[in-house]
């Protein structure tokens, strides 16, 4: 690390860089029985519902743990033990979704497209027609392993038309990409504190259709991940069922204040879009190419092809950029060498410009000259 004491800017899609008031909210200790703390829980739950216009149809059930715990809780509680879930996959989080469904003992079928290809409503239509035993569909809205955005509205329509239940992993889209529970029907939508709402990591939440969750008692095969029980306990007592992540919750409340002050989801999307455009433009000047077609890319995280230069290794590149104050993210693709840069968090276009400068200096230091990916160079030759 270099000799300045500033925290590095996290260009990672959670944990991410949070605003100072959000971090300052964590300087107090709270008792889990304290009515002030439980009032904050209630406000946070209501505000999260409002972000996706779900106040009148759904309930928000928070869950301790990282985002995956909440996906697992949603599947484990909403899918009956004899249910059959179709999981739509175009990346690592879709694969994780299918794996946890199987591990919870539910029947899972998968439909997998390439990592740079969206799942379409036509795919879902065909799959639901072909197998009437499917009861639930699992979709990752923004697949963070590449940054691809899947068409939630069209898929939600198709699933609803077939009378099936949709469970959405909206972890890296919630708060930034428009989601409307009234026009995009879903039975459960899962997100977490440490993504686009810009809180610290440590708690997830499920926005569950009330009429559906009411019928889910006894489905869970796990004690701690029983979303129905967590909900019922919270409704009866106002408290969390087991030890709450107190600091995370009050910091999330502060982050939601900032979210509202900024102008809610449209303002957040606008800022992330500026971040994304600044990043991609600056990286293009250095010769870097994004992995995805821009038409299907969400302005959340960008996957870049790694340089073809033999002097490039992710480790040395990462270390050097980090020493200049910016934390990058490794690629998550099996076929091509890539790295990722997040556009989310309490950062703006200035931070993105400085990050590109740090990458430019790193290329010079490591004497990396051939920045274009191997495939692109062959195409030119």
Listed in order, strand segments (DSSP E) in the chain are: 9-10, 58-64, 84-89, 107-112, 136-140, 142-143, 148-149, 165-169, 188-192, 203-209, 301-305, 326-327, 329-330, 338-342
- Residue closest to 148 by CA, chosen among 99, 96, 113: 113
Residues 127, 164 contacting (CB under 8 angstroms): no
Nearer Cβ to ligand PLP (192/254): 192
* Shortest Cβ 34–ligand PLP spacing (Å): 27
Interstrand relation of 165-169 and 136-140 (parallel, antiparallel or unpaired): parallel
Residues 119, 90 contacting (CB under 8 angstroms): yes
Nearer Cβ to ligand PLP (171/206): 171
* Shortest Cβ 66–ligand PLP spacing (Å): 3
* Shortest Cβ 245–ligand PLP spacing (Å): 13
* Shortest Cβ 67–ligand PLP spacing (Å): 3
Nearer Cβ to ligand PLP (44/344): 344
**Joined tokens for residue 93:** 């989080």
Q: Give the C-alpha separation, 355 to 16, whole Å.
A: 15
* Shortest Cβ 65–ligand PLP spacing (Å): 7
Nearer Cβ to ligand PLP (69/240): 69
Beta bridge partners of 190: 169, 206
Nearer Cβ to ligand PLP (37/97): 97
Nearer Cβ to ligand PLP (172/219): 172
Question: CA torsion sign, 157 to 163 to 169 to 174?
Answer: positive
- Residue closest to 12 by CA, chosen among 179, 176, 195, 186: 195
Q: Give the C-alpha separation, 212 to 59, whole Å.
A: 10
Residue nearest to ligand PLP (CB): 67
Nearer Cβ to ligand PLP (13/290): 13
Nearer Cβ to ligand PLP (83/94): 94
* Shortest Cβ 15–ligand PLP spacing (Å): 9
Instruction: Catalog residues that contact ligand PLP under the rule CB under 6 A.
Output: 13-14, 66-68, 93, 140, 144, 169, 171-172, 192
Place of tokens 């701690």: 224
**Joined tokens for residue 381:** 């030759």
H/E stretch holding 344 reads none
* Shortest Cβ 302–ligand PLP spacing (Å): 14
DSSP helix/strand/coil, 133: coil
* Shortest Cβ 171–ligand PLP spacing (Å): 4
């Amino acid at each position: 690390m270099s000799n300045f004491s500033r925290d590095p800017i996290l260009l990672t899609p959670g944990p991410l860089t949070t605003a100072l008031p959000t971090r300052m909210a964590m300087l107090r200790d709270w008792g889990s029985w304290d009515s002030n703390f439980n009032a904050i829980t209630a406000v946070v739950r209501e505000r999260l519902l409002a972000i996706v216009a779900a106040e009148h149809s759904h309930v928000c059930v928070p869950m301790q743990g990282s985002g995956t715990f909440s996906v697992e809780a949603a599947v484990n509680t909403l899918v009956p033990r004899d249910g059959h879930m179709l999981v739509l996959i175009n990346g690592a989080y879709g694969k994780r979704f299918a794996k946890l469904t199987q591990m919870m003992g539910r029947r899972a079928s998968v439909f997998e497209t390439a990592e740079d290809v969206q799942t379409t409503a036509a795919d879902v239509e065909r799959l639901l027609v072909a197998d009437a035993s499917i009861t639930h569909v699992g979709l990752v809205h923004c697949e963070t392993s590449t940054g691809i955005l899947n068409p939630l509205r069209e898929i939600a329509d198709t699933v609803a038309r077939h009378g099936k239940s949709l469970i959405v992993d909206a972890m890296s889209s919630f708060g930034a990409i428009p989601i409307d529970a009234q026009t995009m029907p879903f039975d459960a939508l899962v997100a977490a504190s440490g993504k686009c709402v810009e809180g610290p990591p440590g708690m997830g939440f499920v926005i569950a259709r009330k009429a559906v969750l009411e019928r889910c008692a006894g489905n869970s095969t796990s004690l701690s991940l029983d979303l129905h029980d967590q909900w019922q306990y919270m409704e009866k007592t106002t408290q969390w069922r087991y030890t709450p992540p107190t600091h995370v919750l009050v910091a999330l409340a502060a982050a939601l204040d900032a979210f509202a002050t900024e102008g809610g989801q449209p303002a957040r999307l606008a800022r992330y879009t500026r971040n994304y455009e600044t990043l991609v433009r600056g990286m293009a000047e250095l010769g870097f190419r994004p992995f995805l077609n821009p038409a299907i890319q969400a302005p959340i995280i960008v996957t870049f092809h790694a340089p073809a230069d033999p002097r490039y290794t992710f480790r040395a590149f990462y270390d050097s950029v980090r020493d200049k104050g910016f934390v990058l993210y490794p690629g998550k693709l099996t076929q091509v060498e890539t790295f990722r840069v997040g556009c989310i968090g309490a950062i703006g276009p200035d931070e993105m410009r400085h990050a590109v400068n740090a990458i430019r200096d790193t290329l010079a230091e490591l004497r990396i000259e051939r920045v274009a990916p191997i495939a692109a160079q062959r195409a030119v030759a």
